[in-house]
Amino acid sequence: MEVSIFQYEFILKGLLGAVFASITAGIIGTYIVSKRMVFLSGGIAHASFGGIGIGYFAGISPVLGAAVFSILSALGIEFLSVRQKIREDSAIGILWAFGMAIGIIFIYLTPGYTPDLMSYLFGSILTVSYWDISALAIMSVLLILYFGVFYRTILYISYDEQYARTYSPYVNIFKYITTALIALTIVLNIRMAGVVLVISLLTIPPNIAMIFTRVYKRIVVASVLTGFAGTSLGYAISYKAGIPAGASIIFTLVVIWIIAKSINRLAVAMKTAG
Amino acid sequence: MAECLLELNSVSFAYGSSIVLQDIDLKVFNNDFIGVIGPNGGGKTTLLKLILGLVKPLKGKIIPGKALQEGSGIGYLPQITTGDNNFPVTVKDVVLSGLMMRKGLISMMTAADRNKASQVIDELGLNDLSGSSLNELSGGQLQRVFLGRAVIGDPRLLLLDEPGNFVDSSFESDFYEKLRLLNKRMAIMMVSHDVGTISSHIKSFACVNRMLHYHPSSEITNEDLLAYGCPIQLITHGEVPHTVLKKH
């Protein structure tokens, strides 16, 4: 079978998208899983739907709308919880639904049909542009630099914030920067996996990695690799079966997780038996 | 020669409207070993947090001496582990984090730093656990890791908040012997609400219950303890080293 230009482009986009989605999701995913910020991240992902709706309504890029909206909501939650003015999980729960509500309201107010709304909810490779992929590539470089240069500082603030405060006056600044990067990473990956599913793209790979290692750096690397395996395989399946990419990626990742868990169980059982 | 490391000058602190510490005066000298005792909620931990700069005094001044400003500062062993022990971080990483005070923002660890960490881990009898993550450790082992983090930077002042809480009995005498050796290089302030567990190596006492009373050496009576609102009864037999503070 000959590969058409269309197919070639599709495969290229899929592969490039998978590479940069895995890098960004692996780095940020390890952070949010280790710091138990998965619920916060899920909240940010859903709240960003408000920004998508506003983007549609105002005629600007929905991704831009989502980026601004999610960074502001993430920083808002961080700010409120640093000051301990509100229960963090309640704040997240409220924001989660509020963002979705705003999104739905604005999309209904937008005249005409919104064709790729489904792709924002569930992700689609068909609507991923080279602009989206470039944005993910830039984000990958940014995250590698940030986490590479400040590795120890970020690691120690994450592990024991109060102790870090005894030697560093920059703890809050790092927390805010990292939170903004989490929000941005989520928004950029929404194009790949969709609002509803993006959180699994971030959380499943580190959980697979943590079955085999508890060293932070190794978890990041292993997450990127498993993420890439899961996303590229998921794309292939979505293409062959004609199902939404986000769903098939998550499905593939969960299958990998189950296999990894089983292998680990078996290895432990053999060790104790032998 | 006694060199003043730190001076607290009529320091007061309040959480909201409740005054926790009032007009505290204290001088810490270079080879002091001060036991900070007093009831729960009396302000002992707050006193350490003030010294560490984690909270700012409502009034009064905390003046660090020359040695504290120039050197590697203050080592700190928190009362409860403030970190998340399920966080994927190894014993060696945690010990290394004690060097962060000297490092700038971009903090790479050198080979010398790693060697130093291995040496500290070795001295604490944790060498088999160097690469383990914290959730594999017992309470006593964790406490040793945090002691390693506190002392790796060779601080001039070491603050210990209730170290007795976690130390397992097999390590307890080792632990206090270790403190005695450390005390040759650094001043130590050790908080304890349970006077019974305080080490016999302590040279002076500071009783904290909103006010601070300093006892340069050592006698205490049961009535004195009751005055702090902490009815403590010590039941011992045999020859137990003990310290009784004078009435104030």
Tell me: the pLDDT tens digits for B120-157?
999 888 888 988 888 888 888 888 899 999 999 889 89
A22 near A198, Cβ under 8 Å? no
Instruction: Provide the chain B residues 196-225 that lie in CB contact (below 8 A) with chain A.
Output: none
Quick: pLDDT tens for B32-53: 888 888 878 788 889 999 998 8
- According to DSSP, residue B110 is labeled P
Report pLDDT for B116. Answer: 93
Does B96 touch chain A if contact means CB atoms closer than 8 Å? yes
Q: Do A159 and B89 touch (CB under 8 A)?
A: yes
Is B192 a residue whose pLDDT tops 70? yes
- B97, part of any domain: no
Question: B14 — phi, psi (to 5°)?
Answer: -140, 140
User: Tens of pLDDT along B196-211?
Assistant: 555 567 777 788 877 8
For chain A, say whether B55 makes contact (Cβ under 8 Å).
no
B174 part of a folded domain? yes
For residue B62, the enclosing domain spans: 4-82+155-227
* Number of domains present in the structure of chain B: 1
| B55: pLDDT strictly greater than 60 | yes
CATH number at B53 reads 3.40.50.300
In the prediction, which pLDDT does B242 show?
A: 55
Q: What is the pLDDT of residue B194?
A: 60
Minimum-distance CB partner of A153 among B84, B88, B107:
B107
Does residue B33 sit within a domain? Answer: yes
Residues of B in contact with A168 (CB under 8 A): 100
Query: What is residue A258's predicted lDDT score, i.e. its pLDDT?
Result: 96
Q: Measured between CA atoms, how close is B91 to chain A, in angstroms?
A: 10
Q: Are A188 and A132 in contact (CB under 8 A)?
A: yes
pLDDT of residue B180: 86
The verdict on residue B140 lying in a domain is no
Q: Given this model, what pLDDT does residue B234 score?
A: 44
- Residue-level pLDDT at A102: 94
A104 vs B228: which has the higher pLDDT: A104
Alpha carbon distance B195, B235 (integer Å): 12
Confidence of residue B91 (pLDDT cuts 50, 70, 90): very high
Enclosing H/E stretch for B189: strand B187-192
DSSP B133: B
pLDDT average, residue stretch B230-246: 49
Interface test with A, best of B46, B97, B134, B136 (most A CBs within 10 A): B97
CB contact under 8 A, A158 and B87: yes
Tokens of A252: 């593939």
Q: Chain-wide mean pLDDT for chain B?
A: 80
Listed in sequence order, the residues at least 6 apart from A251 whose beta carbon sits closer than 8 Å to its beta carbon are A234, A237
- Mutation target among B93, B130, B135, B146 for the A interface, most CBs of A within 10 A: B93
**Residue B196's pLDDT is what?**
54
For the whole model, what pTM was predicted?
0.85
Distance of alpha carbon A77 from its chain centroid, rounded? 18
Chain A residues with CB-CB distance to B83 below 8 A: 159-163
Residue B191 lies in a domain: yes
When pLDDT is averaged across residues B206-220 and rounded to a whole number, the result is: 72
pLDDT for the residue A133: 93
Interface mutation vs chain B, best among A34, A167, A212, most B CBs within 10 Å: A167
- Residue B238 is predicted with a pLDDT of 45
Q: Which residues of B touch A219 (CB under 8 A)?
A: 88
List C-alpha distances in Å: B85 to B32, B127, B136, B139: 32, 19, 9, 11
- Taking 70 as the pLDDT cut, the residues of chain A under it are 1-3, 84-85, 114-116, 125, 274
Q: Is B67 on the interface with A (CB under 8 A)?
A: no
Cross-strand bridge partners of residue B64: B6
Distance (Å, whole) CA A233 – CA A241: 12
pLDDT at A141: 98
Q: What is the pLDDT of residue B231?
A: 40
| Reported confidence tier of residue B220, pLDDT bands at 50, 70, 90 | low
Q: What percent of chain B has pLDDT over 70?
A: 78
**CATH of range A5-273; options 3.30.420.40, 1.10.10.520, 1.10.3470.10, 3.30.2130.30:** 1.10.3470.10
DSSP designation for B196: G
B199 Cβ contact list (under 8 Å, min separation 6): B35, B176, B179, B180, B190
Q: What is the pLDDT of residue A174?
A: 94
Per cent of chain B over pLDDT 90 is 19
Q: CB distance from B100 to chain A under 8 Å?
A: yes
DSSP A4: P
Backbone angles phi, psi at B15, to 5 degrees: -95, 110
